[in-house]
Chain A
Amino acid sequence: MLPIDIITELGKAGGYAVFFIIGAGFGIALELAGFGDSRRLAAQFYLKDMTVLKTMFTGILVACLLIFLSSALGLLDFSQLVVNQTFLLPGIVGGLIMGVGFIVGGYCPGTSLVATASFKIDGLFFLVGTIIGAGLFGESLPGFENFWNSSFTDRYLVSDWLGISIGATVFIVTIFALMMFYGAEKVEEFFKNKETGKAMSWKITKRPYLYGAVVLVAIAILVWSIGQPDPIRKWKIMETKYSGQLSSKAVFIHPLEYVKTNYESTIKLITLDLRPNKDFDNFHLSGSENVKLVDFLNAKFVAPLAQLPPQGVVVLLADNDSISIKAWQYLKVQGVVNLYILENGLHNWNSLFADKKIHEKAINLASPPAEVLQLFSKNAYVPKIKIGSKKRSGGLCS
């Protein structure tokens, strides 16, 4: 199932080769669009030539439809795609600065590469400028680092912000892009007709464009109607990928490992207790949270768990391991990386700790101290927890 990690599949050399090929495709597309020419790029900001807008939005729309169509069909796991973190205010300020750089210099980093490759000296100078600018940023950052790290939401989609489904958002994006295209065509027509004196018509005259628009809308409606897979459908699709971890018990941990992990200062432990409310109120591990299985089907509930930093570990426990297993499946397919089940829930808790003493005092069962591990032999349990991380350092931007 997509996405694959090409470096894992082909090793570093093969993986790097694929990155090179993808880059080449990128460079070719930019050059074919004529983006190696600063005059064409700048013309966008004088409304004379709308190539930038048309090409960019087409690229975004096509990729967006491909991504969410393949996700709806169960061919791609969207939770595994890197989504740029949103730092809203710095992003807006940075964008405004970049807009100025764009119109002053006539390029953006990617297009300046293509221009330099086409032997354009202004492209080369621009590229050198970007390297200097990057350096200046690093030097000046300590002065406003707090602002730079402000207004952060990891993996925050337009659909989350609007409170609607991904399918509906894709449809809105499609309509929006098509409206932009229509506007772009008419603006260009307006300026061209100014020179020729021809009258302007509001009709869409180019048949292929009309057909193309219809096709795109049809795909968007298809994506919307199929819908993105919910965790239950996702597990059915992805079962083979993860079931090995369940059957080999690689993700079931012993109470002693739980205690040890709890005291590991480098690990952020989140404990989710799926037992009935009454039992939870009666006794629960300190720091644990009482949840219901149905909560794990709620994307808003799961989001913070899927966005934990690499050292975040989630442990599930329930009266019956089959409940923990279901919860594990739902969380796994929604992108939770370090996910484990406390084997047998709390059933062994009392028998393990109730009659033991540390420094002549009974153990606090809700939060056994780290020293309790010394009361048991080193072989009392097999450590299972391995810290894994899914993101490749936020993509290729930083």
Chain B
Amino acid sequence: MKRIPKNVKNPYFAGTILGVVLFAAFALTHSGLGASGAISRIQVAITKLFWSSHVDSVGTFASMGAGKSNALDHPSILLLIGTFAGGLISAWLNGRLKIEIYKGSKISNIQRLFFAILGGIIMGYGARFARGCTSGQALSGGAVLSLGSWAFMFSVFIGGYAVAYFVRRLWAD
């Protein structure tokens, strides 16, 4: 059944839902939301499949999946899978489930995919550096007034705005 794409919700409304979900996370699990932790675990699990001794020898990998422990046996993985499922359901119900590549009109698909993976690598690296990503550090840490999280949040915006001019071709229409 082809669904006509619906408009996205008012950001303040979506933000309120986000805030309530975040509060529920804290109330039921002591912690807020997060994605980068689970992504690190997936990385360790994949590395372990091909090169398990390496996992044991690199400090941060070992703490997640050394020896017999399963890097994927962690609540954050369930959170990640749930986030994926929620995105899928919402996209489907709102007619936004479609195979496509979002990009600015001035670049090609290949160029977009190249920069997507490059941006992901930079982001994944930065998220480990900052010990969290925008969901974990900015949203969750921000809500509990952690100073480091607020400083982190401002840095993300500053970093993005500083570089935006130089990559404007990626997004120009």
Q: A residues bordering B, Cβ < 8 Å?
A: 2-7, 15-34, 36-40, 42-46, 50-51, 54-64, 66-67, 70, 76, 78, 80-88, 90-110, 112-123, 125-139, 141-142, 145, 148, 153, 155-161, 166, 169-170, 173, 181, 209, 212, 391-392, 394-398
Contact = CB atoms under 8 A, between A and B. Distances in A.
Given A60-B142, A120-B102, A22 B29 contact: yes
A81 to B, nearest CB: 5
A55 B22 CA distance: 13
Q: Is the interface of B mostly helix, strand, loop or mixed?
A: helix
A91 B82 contact: no
Given A94-B130, A122-B116, 16 more contacts: A26-B22, A26-B25, A60-B22, A95-B152, A97-B126, A99-B126, A102-B119, A108-B135, A122-B101, A122-B102, A127-B39, A132-B120, A153-B147, A155-B146, A158-B145, A395-B32
Contacts of A131: 39, 42-43, 46, 120, 124
Contacts of A122: 101-103, 112-113, 116
A145 to B, nearest CB: 8
B29 A5 contact: yes
Interface of B: 8-9, 11-40, 42-44, 46-47, 58-61, 75-76, 78-91, 94, 96-104, 112-113, 115-164, 167-168, 170-171
B124 A134 contact: yes
Contacts of B37: 395-398
Contacts, number: 581
Contacts of B171: 39, 42-43, 46, 106
Contacts of B15: 29, 33, 54-59, 61-62
A136 to B, nearest CB: 6
B131 A85 contact: yes
Given A26-B83, A55-B11, A129 B120 contact: yes
Residue with the highest number of chain B CB atoms closer than 10 Å, among A15, A94, A135: A94
Shortest 7 CB-CB contacts between residues of A and residues of B: A105-B119, A129-B120, A99-B159, A23-B82, A133-B124, A62-B19, A58-B15
B86 A31 contact: yes
Contacts of B85: 20, 23-24, 27, 117
Given A104-B119, A110-B83, A31 B164 contact: no
A99 B156 CA distance: 4
A92 B102 contact: no
Contacts of A114: 83-84, 86-87, 90-91
